[in-house]
Homo-oligomer: A and B are copies of this chain.
Amino acid sequence: MEIKVTADLLSKNNQLANANKGVFDEHKVFTINLMGSPGAGKTTLLERTIEKLKDRINIAVIEGDIYTAKDAQRIAEHNIPVKQINTGGACHLDALMVEKVLKDFDLDKTDLMVVENVGNLVCPVEFNVGEHAKIAVLSIIEGDDKPLKYPLIFRESEAVILNKIDLLPFCDVDFDQMKKDILSINPEINIFEISSRKGEGLDAWTDWLVAKVNQNK
């Protein structure tokens, strides 16, 4: 019974997500769904990405958060279009929430839409919002056991940002094992090693992202 309800919800959500994707395709907007644990560093990564790319492509952002507008306020300071979605308790964004804010954007003037999901390594992965690619953000401080413990997000993502690499000398993480485990789950995934705080390793990531945006034109 509970399983059937969930399957119905997911099926309905997928229909709405496909409709959203159709809208993005119509306007040639490349859309990513940025996911990761609370504190993985999604918003800081996004700020550094915007700083590097805002003169090259037009970026817009949908911020998902349970209650606050803290992340949207941070993004708005970079003078790009941003809308906040508060889920009011729900642990993930869904396609309907995203559909409701699409009208607030000028999609013909948007090359890249970033949907930053609620901080959660589990639930958001199951709810497509219409994205072309899922991107996982994992703070290396979370530990080298996380890929095998939470495999779905790595299986479904086109790229993973291993963030906060500046903290590697101060923790007991086996970084090689972490990367090996991610590749064992998804041999096709692109791995980017980044310190958003120190601004290290961003170029490979932003170049990859721009290439994806250009392929979509």
List A residues at the B interface (Cβ < 8 Å): 2, 5, 9, 37-39, 65-68, 70, 89, 91, 118-123, 139, 141-143, 145-146, 148-152, 164, 166-167, 170-172, 197
Contact = CB atoms under 8 A, between A and B. Distances in A.
A2 B96 CA distance: 13
A166 B170 CA distance: 9
6 contacts: A2-B9, A37-B142, A70-B145, A70-B148, A120-B120, A120-B121
B122 A121 contact: no
Oligomer copy total: 2
A101 to B, nearest CB: 19
Contact of A38 (B9, B89, B146, B151): B146
Contact of A68 (B66, B148, B152): B148
Q: Which of A9, A122, A123, A148 has the most CB of B within 10 A?
A: A122
A119 B37 contact: yes
Contacts of A9: 2
A38 B91 contact: no
Contact of A91 (B68, B70, B123): B123
A142 B70 contact: no
Nearest to A167: B170
Contacts of A120: 91, 120-123
B39 A139 contact: yes
Nearest to A141: B141
A150 B66 contact: yes
B149 A67 contact: yes
A211 B91 CA distance: 34
Given A37-B142, A39-B143, A172-B197, 20 more contacts: A2-B9, A37-B38, A38-B121, A39-B142, A39-B146, A66-B150, A68-B149, A70-B145, A89-B152, A91-B122, A91-B123, A118-B122, A119-B121, A119-B149, A120-B123, A122-B123, A123-B123, A139-B141, A141-B141, A166-B170
